[in-house]
Structure 1
Amino acid sequence: DESLISLVDNMIEMPNIFQDTGRFVVFQENNEAGKRSRLWDSTDIVDVLTNKSGTEAVEGIFLDASDLTFELNPTVFERMYRLRLLKIHCPTSENHCKVCLPQGLHSLPDELRLLHWERYPLGSLPRNFNPKNLVELNMP
Structure 2
Amino acid sequence: MVLEENTGTNKIEAIVVELPEGNDIIRLSPNAFMEMKRLRLFIINDYDDYVCFSGELNSLPNELRVLDWDGYHLPSLPSNFHGKKLSYLKLRGSLIQDVRVVEHMNLTVLDFSFCELLTKIPNLSRHRNLKELNLLFCKNLEEIHDSVGLLDKLVRFDVSGCSKLWSFPRSIKLISLEYLDLEHCSSLLNFPEIEGEMKNLDGIT
TM-score over 0.5 (shorter chain): yes
Kindly indicate which of the two structures has a greater share of residues assigned to helix: 1
- The Cα of 1:98 is off from its aligned counterpart by 1.4
Partner of 2:26: 70
Out of 57, 60, 69, the position equivalent to 1:105 is 57
The structure 1 segments of at least 4 consecutive aligned residues displaced by more than 4 Å after TM superposition are none
- The Cα of 1:82 is off from its aligned counterpart by 0.2
TM-score, reference length from structure 1: 0.60
Q: How many residues align?
A: 90
The separation in 1 between residues aligned to 2:77 and 2:6, in whole angstroms, is 19
Identity of aligned residues (%): 40
Contact 1:81 1:109 in 2 (8 A): yes
Out of 78, 83, 87, the position equivalent to 2:39 is 83
CA RMSD of aligned residues (A): 1.5
Q: Deviations over 1:60-111 (max 9, x none)?
A: 0011225352111111100001000000014xx6xx4511113110100000
Partner of 2:145: none
Unaligned segments of structure 1, at least 5 residues: 1-46
The separation in 1 between residues aligned to 2:4 and 2:58, in whole angstroms, is 15
Contact 1:66 1:97 in 2 (8 A): no
Find the structure with the greater CA-based Rg.
2
SS in 2 for 1:50: helix
Unaligned segments of structure 2, at least 5 residues: 93-205
TM-score, reference length from structure 2: 0.42
Out of 41, 57, 77, the position equivalent to 2:11 is 57
